[in-house]
Structure 1
């Protein structure tokens, strides 16, 4: 394997009805920011990005910037699926000190 580089990726959702809605209104009020650690691995074929905190969330790219943009899109899609799967269930957020 190639080099591993760790990034923090900050995602921001914009208010367009619900915080998880896929359409963005850039003039709207910012409502939620999430920070994820992204592991970027280089190889002879390009880059592979993954998110340790979101199992199965991976994305490739020919260059580093492309891999980071692709993983950002993959995180949005991942969270959209989680939202759909938990839509009618009781879900609570908790904070845990580490």
Structure 2
């Protein structure tokens, strides 16, 4: 899934937690992690986490990574 922040787009990895809720990581923003109890809350929290992470990078004078999406089809053979 991709989430936009201003004009930037970031791929997020959303994993269902064992008990309940979801955990989100943003591969191109190391350390940017959040969670939520519901899908909607998780997406909202991810947007807030990305925005906060970008603001922190700006404050520290660090470069904001620009993600270039690449789609690669993967074939998986079915086994019986």
Fold similarity call, TM over 0.5:
yes
The ranges of structure 1 where at least 4 consecutive aligned residues each deviate by more than 4 angstroms after the TM superposition are none
Gaps of 5+ in 2: 71-80
- 1:42 paired with 2:16, answer yes
- 1:9 paired with 2:25, answer no
Instruction: Give the TM-score taking structure 1 as reference length.
Output: 0.60
- SS for the counterpart of 2:35 is strand
Q: Deviations over 1:59-88 (max 9, x none)?
A: 01001111111011011111111101107x
Tell me the matched-pair count. Answer: 66
Instruction: Give the TM-score taking structure 2 as reference length.
Output: 0.72
Gaps of 5+ in 1: 1-6, 13-32
